A and B are shown apart, each in its own frame.
Chain A
Amino acid sequence: MSHIESPPDTSTDPFSGVPIGVAEQDEAHEFYRAMSIVRSVELEIEKMHRLGRMSGSFHSSIGQEAAAVGVCAALRPTDLVTSTHRGHGHALAKGVPIEGIFAELLGRASGVSGGRGGSMHLHHRRSGFLGENAIVAGGVPWAAGAAWARRRRGTDDIAVAFMGDGGFAQGVTHETLLLARFWKSPCLVVCENNGLAHSMPSERLFGPPGTIARMVEATGVLSRYVDGRDVMAVARVARELVAEVRRGVPAFLECSVFRVRPHSLSDPDYRYRPRGAGQDWLARNDPIANLRARLESLPANRVARIDREVAEEVAQALERAEAAARPPASASKWFVYSSPELQNHA
């Protein structure tokens, strides 16, 4: 018998969530702030693209904020994260500076990757954010190996690999889970099941939410499912898993979330789902609005102040990022090799 319960259908069940207890108040406010930052950054990026002030591809994580924030709440600053093409939320939740992300998307020298990575290649070593990887599931073994190295070098840091439901079809995901178990890598693979891999419904490919977690469980890897609309629940389950992972075994977590926006900016999603599907879902399930409502029922809530602070922080970061300089043309050839004798060879 599986211990993974059958989850609610997040595409239709309205979501309420349990009331916030007094002991959880401060943390819930912090989660609210962190999720609001992700949402606000993603909305600003959309706006910048509309205005023609940003270019390149952009995969919005709106609707998935609770997964990023809840999982990263279980981590320490020295823990590591790898991510995907849809990784702004993961970066922000792991503590990558907002300004560095905006600057990167604007191709500025002060961007976290010096303006040569862009939206799908955020990297920030100081925050423990190894980076995004735009190859579906490509970042999964990277996290497992990095976690293993940390352990070999005497720390008890762990690594999280975020991936999507589409990434669960990739062989390298399964290879990594096997390797991580065999070589005792302390890594947590987090599958954000947002219902779609571009136009491919995960329900059609795998079955209802929770199926992926069960498939992993059947391989003997510690595996859980959580409703990714509820940041409190995600954080709770992530902490349980992270405690196990820190002991030196890999684990897996499926979070059901929803891809509110089209796959990317240019994606005609009306061809494969009803128009307005994203907004409809958000109206009933928005993880941020939901937490806000739960916090507002507390007399000592600070949500209005947090909203103001987030708006200001994000606006200032964007302003500074836009004002920053572009890298010199010569920077296009920097950092191809580490060895000094190879650097002038490009």
Chain B
Amino acid sequence: MRELKYAEAIRAALEDEMAIDDSVVVMGEEVGRLGGVFTTTQGLIDRFGDHRVLDSPICEAGLVGFAIGAAVEGMRPVVEIMFSDFVLLALDQIVNLGAKVRYMSGGQFSVPLTIRMPGGAGTNHGPQHSQSLETIFANVPGLVVAMPSNPSDAYWMLRHAIRSDDLVIFLESKNLYFRESGDVDERSGPDGYGARVVREGHDLTVVSAGRMVGRCREAADELAAENISCEVVDLRYLWPLDTTTIEASLRRTGKLAVVHEAVEFCGWGGEVAAWVSEHCFERLDGPMVRIGAERVPIPFGHHLEDEIVPTTGRIVAELRKLAAY
């Protein structure tokens, strides 16, 4: 058991998988000598050499296509995309090849590839470095979409992703890298694809993922003082979506809110709400509430950003209304 920051947990997961499996290689811009712009590959090149930690030129599409080729031929590449915004340059390779070459080939190939990328706002990086693009990937058959909210999940979900024979889009939160610390038990093991109830409650269910899980917990703490009891579900994966855990929670609370950093319009919160409406309508004691980013780019200044991305204050206000319904 070690206490690690979120970024350290990512680095530890890479190191520990590389140590036990020679086919694991890390590829990306600045992952070598520099150690990653967010330190997540620091020192790996010293331990494993530049044949396993490869500094890439700045060519996301070529890089991801190359990694897909390496993956179908038996390597387990872990690609780092410096900011998740840049993955858009590689979407063709991800969506048209990596996500479906197994299907198109009738099962002849699998793609044991992990593509890691820090996303989300909260670090003053401006509109082209702060987006939450997870909904795009959740919409693509063939992809697994992982969004760890804490160091222990960052560690074990990454190790699980690297061992998986499927293409995993691994969305890290750059805001959490150095802010979020927690215990990581390197001796436990991967936890499967399930969601987790991170706080129990009986008045309403709040479903979230990634960085917003922390804000939902803060909101739940505040509301507890008003005798409103919120159950917080950390999805961990957008796909596969653990509807069993959502449904079980809803049976206890009867009310649902979904909170995410991605744009609310056509965001994955709508998918969760639609699923609940189709499968648990009778359990509902109130309208389902989506709390996501406004359909506006992420502005640079914090006080502007707070108008767009859900803040703890906005979450508290929305949940309070829902509780009173």
State the A residues within 8 Å of B (CB).
Answer: 80, 82, 111-117, 121, 123-125, 130-131, 133-135, 138-150, 152-153, 159, 171-172, 175-176, 178-179, 182-183, 185, 334-339, 341-342, 345-346
A-contact bits for B155-176, CB 8 A (1 contact / 0 none) = 0000000001110000000000
- How many residue pairs between the two chains, A and B, have CB atoms under 8 Å in the bound complex? 166
Measured between alpha carbons, how far is A176 from B62 in the docked complex, in Å? 5
Segment with Cβ contacts to A, from B30-38, B104-112, B120-128, B146-154? B104-112
Measured between alpha carbons, how far is A342 from B141 in the docked complex, in Å? 11
Measured between alpha carbons, how far is A320 from B65 in the docked complex, in Å? 36
Q: List 29 A-B contacts (CB under 8 A).
A: A80-B73, A113-B104, A113-B106, A125-B105, A125-B108, A141-B63, A141-B65, A141-B68, A141-B93, A142-B97, A145-B68, A145-B70, A147-B69, A149-B70, A152-B70, A153-B75, A171-B62, A179-B62, A179-B66, A185-B66, A334-B103, A335-B106, A337-B142, A338-B102, A338-B112, A338-B164, A339-B166, A345-B240, A346-B141
CB proximity of B192 to chain A, nearest CB, Å: 7
A335 nearest CB neighbor, chain B only: B107
Measured between alpha carbons, how far is A114 from B106 in the docked complex, in Å? 5
Q: B75, A342: Cβ atoms under 8 Å?
A: no
* B54 contacts across to A, CB distance below 8 A: 183
Measured between alpha carbons, how far is A214 from B111 in the docked complex, in Å? 35
Q: B193, A341: Cβ atoms under 8 Å?
A: yes
A155 nearest CB neighbor, chain B only: B73
Near A by CB (< 8 A), chain B positions 71-127 give 71-75, 92-93, 96-97, 101-112
Interface centre among A125, A130, A145, A338 (most CB of B within 10 A): A145
Q: B107, A114: Cβ atoms under 8 Å?
A: yes
* A183 contacts across to B, CB distance below 8 A: 54, 66
A141-B93, A342-B193 known, 17 other contacts, Cβ within 8 Å: A113-B108, A115-B106, A121-B105, A125-B108, A130-B69, A131-B104, A138-B97, A141-B65, A145-B73, A172-B65, A172-B92, A175-B59, A183-B54, A183-B66, A337-B166, A338-B102, A345-B239
B103 nearest CB neighbor, chain A only: A335
CB proximity of A162 to chain B, nearest CB, Å: 14
Let me know if B144 is at the binding interface, CB within 8 A: yes
CB proximity of A160 to chain B, nearest CB, Å: 12
Q: A145, B105: Cβ atoms under 8 Å?
A: no
State the B residues within 8 Å of A (CB).
Answer: 25, 51, 54, 56-57, 59, 61-75, 92-93, 96-97, 101-112, 141-142, 144, 164-166, 192-193, 239-240
Q: A140-B65, A146-B73 are in contact. Are A123 and B101 (CB under 8 A)?
A: yes
Q: A145, B67: Cβ atoms under 8 Å?
A: yes
* B239 contacts across to A, CB distance below 8 A: 345
Measured between alpha carbons, how far is A115 from B104 in the docked complex, in Å? 9
Measured between alpha carbons, how far is A301 from B141 in the docked complex, in Å? 54
* B96 contacts across to A, CB distance below 8 A: 133-135, 138
**Contact partner of A145 among B66, B92, B103, CB < 8 A?**
B66
Q: B61, A334: Cβ atoms under 8 Å?
A: no
Q: A125, B97: Cβ atoms under 8 Å?
A: no
Measured between alpha carbons, how far is A203 from B222 in the docked complex, in Å? 69
Interface centre among A113, A114, A152, A346 (most CB of B within 10 A): A152
Measured between alpha carbons, how far is A152 from B75 in the docked complex, in Å? 9
**Contact partner of B56 among A153, A179, A338, CB < 8 A?**
A179
Cβ-closest 8 pairs across A and B = A145-B69, A141-B65, A175-B62, A114-B106, A123-B105, A149-B73, A175-B59, A145-B66
A112 nearest CB neighbor, chain B only: B106
Q: A338, B97: Cβ atoms under 8 Å?
A: no
Q: A141, B69: Cβ atoms under 8 Å?
A: yes
